Structure 1
């Protein structure tokens, strides 16, 4: 019996460390465990710009493999010509494998999928974080995004406010759903930071502009000196400018002896580090549903987060986290101070965050994805695309 063939077009993918790459890898694992054959095509993203005279056939004939055994293609396409290049590559790939379903794992990348799928094969478009949405509505991307929203079989997102945002561009009523990121917390260590006298505040992840690390450093400096000991930043800076600004902030505020930046940490080392925090902080200006939140909650660490993105879907102020407005440095400092000074509050938030484990489990995420794929494969809902705009 022929396996269902899936073409997943991803913005980032294994072995990259970013949350989008990790969630795409999990999806591939779920699909392969369900007996599907998965082909992953990775857009150039941060790869260097290559000349246009690329050999797509060579790429198809010599794919790589991911940790799950799936075929992975990284076609050499100039970054400024991603859409046209991806369309040409997918044409060749589909001619060889004739896929049953397509998935653009970043909203604009569902556009070339639509052009290949035509009317009789389902296409999923996924919004993967606020940064993807922000770029998606830029003038050069908006035509692609509009077409995807109008004609894709289904639109998914990691949080409801992103669906509301794209709903202002085009109606996706009845064709959209939130699928929360999942995490396998088997063997995760439990929170060890109950002794608030240690004063350890921290965050983890890939530190980009949206994570607002300079603001977090300033908020930490506003916490009373007798309450604080260390600000731990566990993860790499992906933006040299943000790393420079953060270091300048540390120096200006005379925090060199209190701030520790670890760089990338392997999962076990990361979990052992963050479970020593008294407070786990997500200070994002905007975000989807960051893996760092899932990790902290699964360990039962008291969380302080900004009111944005997926945090609003899973966090309730004063129950499983303290929530503050993005960019409000003084409010962030006050929230951190509350957790450091109120042991009962810290324990309450710890218990509340730990109870999120079931909602954010791999099992829940897997069942949601497989149900969606099964439904679309049984009854594709693509509308006519004869009026797709020319771009």
Structure 2
């Protein structure tokens, strides 16, 4: 039925549907959420807070490893206006998706969610299972963050679950276009997918920006979980290829998650005689990230594949000169020779050459610093907020107009 203006005032009646869309109960599922460390955990919390700022009632469902607690128990608490529900598990396993599904269903009975989002592809599966079990259709977003797409391609054990999520999700988001292209090789995503890039928070007012001085001259580094995909052995090889007169240290601000990768990196450090130049910090609070970044002359992200790493964007926001492998989102957002230097993955000589160019040319370092800051300004929190807001309004509007039984998956 069409809305008509009031006969006396000529004004349209209030649009209560729009108000309902803006205050919708949302279920955001992520197996990684702070205090768990890592880019996905941090990005999930950023999204939860963003959705809360838009007026939504946000419920995060995540896991917590507790060997002494019964599996499936749920601890709930309000964290800055976002309800976080942590589901106990002995350890990550194939049963995790069912523990999450059951927790989602219990919450749904009380809250009545209007939209579900799986943040990281495996997290979309329990959302879909819960919607099917409820018998009431609500939109489900499956969000690609990084190596979840590589898992689709390279790990048969997880492939069926990830394909299920991609085939039945109402919308698919990715932090880069390359991953949507990879997904499209297996699943039709046209008309129900979009790229929403990570936003980067501006440097706090009054905080010092990056500048080159004697305290950081010659130091190369990176920040974050040193997972296998980050290819620290390649970084060690590249650093070793830089003339000794230009380099002063390799700062690995983070911790290894793969013992074998750590041993291999240590072996290379010893073989190259770099023991006195390499520093491994171990875990640290996120508030210390900028301090570590300011200690670098060049920030390096030499990953085998990437979504769009938050650490790289944080380095850009400070103006640290960037070197990155031309993979994933990094190849899409970095303008070679302007906002950073791009090199092929797996080429230590090319990596060494890029590092040496910046370490030996203060003018180039200054130009790349300006370019990095300009990139960070483009990838603002406001831009990310606008993208998520538009998508949620679209899907919630469809949900309000079409409440129907959930189909069989």
TM over 0.5: yes
Inter-partner Cα distance in structure 2 for 1:99 and 1:268: 33
Q: Which residue of 2 aligns with 1:37?
A: 57
Gaps of 5+ in 2: 1-18
Q: Which residue of 1 aligns with 2:224?
A: 205
Contact 2:120–2:144 (Cα < 8 Å) also in 1: yes
Inter-partner Cα distance in structure 1 for 2:296 and 2:346: 22
Indicate yes or no: 2:133 matched with 1:116.
Answer: no
Q: Which residue of 2 aligns with 1:369?
A: 388
- Describe the shift of the 1:95–1:196 C-alpha distance in structure 2 as closer, same or farther (beyond 3 A): closer
Indicate yes or no: 2:191 matched with 1:170.
Answer: no
Deviates more, 1:144-153 or 1:274-283: 144-153
Inter-partner Cα distance in structure 2 for 1:141 and 1:386: 23
Contact 2:124–2:165 (Cα < 8 Å) also in 1: yes
What is the RMSD computed on CA atoms of the aligned residues? 2.5
Q: Which residue of 1 aligns with 2:158?
A: 141
Which whole-Å deviations, capped at 9, do the CAs of 1:280-304 have from their partners, x for residues lacking one?
1111111111111111110111111
Inter-partner Cα distance in structure 1 for 2:210 and 2:100: 45
Inter-partner Cα distance in structure 1 for 2:84 and 2:289: 30
SS in 2 for 1:125: strand
Contact 2:66–2:90 (Cα < 8 Å) also in 1: no
Q: Which residue of 2 aligns with 1:159?
A: 176
Q: Which residue of 2 aligns with 1:86?
A: 100
Inter-partner Cα distance in structure 1 for 2:79 and 2:262: 31
SS in 1 for 2:375: coil
Inter-partner Cα distance in structure 1 for 2:403 and 2:322: 41
Inter-partner Cα distance in structure 2 for 1:128 and 1:232: 26
Indicate yes or no: 2:79 matched with 1:66.
Answer: yes
Given candidates 355, 367, 370, the residue that maps to 2:374 is 355
Deviates more, 1:92-101 or 1:290-299: 92-101
Inter-partner Cα distance in structure 2 for 1:379 and 1:75: 34
Given candidates 281, 296, 305, the residue that maps to 1:262 is 281
- Describe the shift of the 1:49–1:172 C-alpha distance in structure 2 as closer, same or farther (beyond 3 A): farther
Given candidates 9, 16, 22, the residue that maps to 2:36 is 16
Inter-partner Cα distance in structure 2 for 1:348 and 1:183: 20
Given candidates 260, 266, 283, the residue that maps to 2:302 is 283
SS in 1 for 2:104: helix
Indicate yes or no: 2:358 matched with 1:339.
Answer: yes
Structure 1 position 100, deviation (Å) = 0.7
SS in 2 for 1:141: helix
- Describe the shift of the 1:230–1:355 C-alpha distance in structure 2 as closer, same or farther (beyond 3 A): same
Tell me the matched-pair count. Answer: 380
Q: Which residue of 1 aligns with 2:4?
A: none
Given candidates 72, 95, 111, the residue that maps to 1:97 is 111
Q: Which residue of 2 aligns with 1:313?
A: 332
- Describe the shift of the 1:32–1:202 C-alpha distance in structure 2 as closer, same or farther (beyond 3 A): same
Structure 1 position 382, deviation (Å) = 11
Deviates more, 1:228-237 or 1:142-151: 142-151
TM-score where L is the length of structure 1: 0.89
Based on CA coordinates, which of the two structures has the bigger radius of gyration? 2
Inter-partner Cα distance in structure 1 for 2:165 and 2:152: 11
Structure 1 position 346, deviation (Å) = 1.6
- Describe the shift of the 1:245–1:384 C-alpha distance in structure 2 as closer, same or farther (beyond 3 A): farther
Which whole-Å deviations, capped at 9, do the CAs of 1:187-224 have from their partners, x for residues lacking one?
25312126699311111111110111121111111111
Inter-partner Cα distance in structure 2 for 1:134 and 1:269: 30
Deviates more, 1:339-348 or 1:110-119: 110-119
TM-score where L is the length of structure 2: 0.86
- Describe the shift of the 1:147–1:50 C-alpha distance in structure 2 as closer, same or farther (beyond 3 A): farther
Contact 1:28–1:70 (Cα < 8 Å) also in 2: no
Structure 1 position 80, deviation (Å) = 2.5
Contact 1:279–1:336 (Cα < 8 Å) also in 2: yes
Structure 1 position 273, deviation (Å) = 2.8
- Describe the shift of the 1:22–1:117 C-alpha distance in structure 2 as closer, same or farther (beyond 3 A): same
Gaps of 5+ in 1: none
| Segments of 4+ moved more than 3 angstroms | 48-51, 64-69, 194-197, 265-269, 380-387
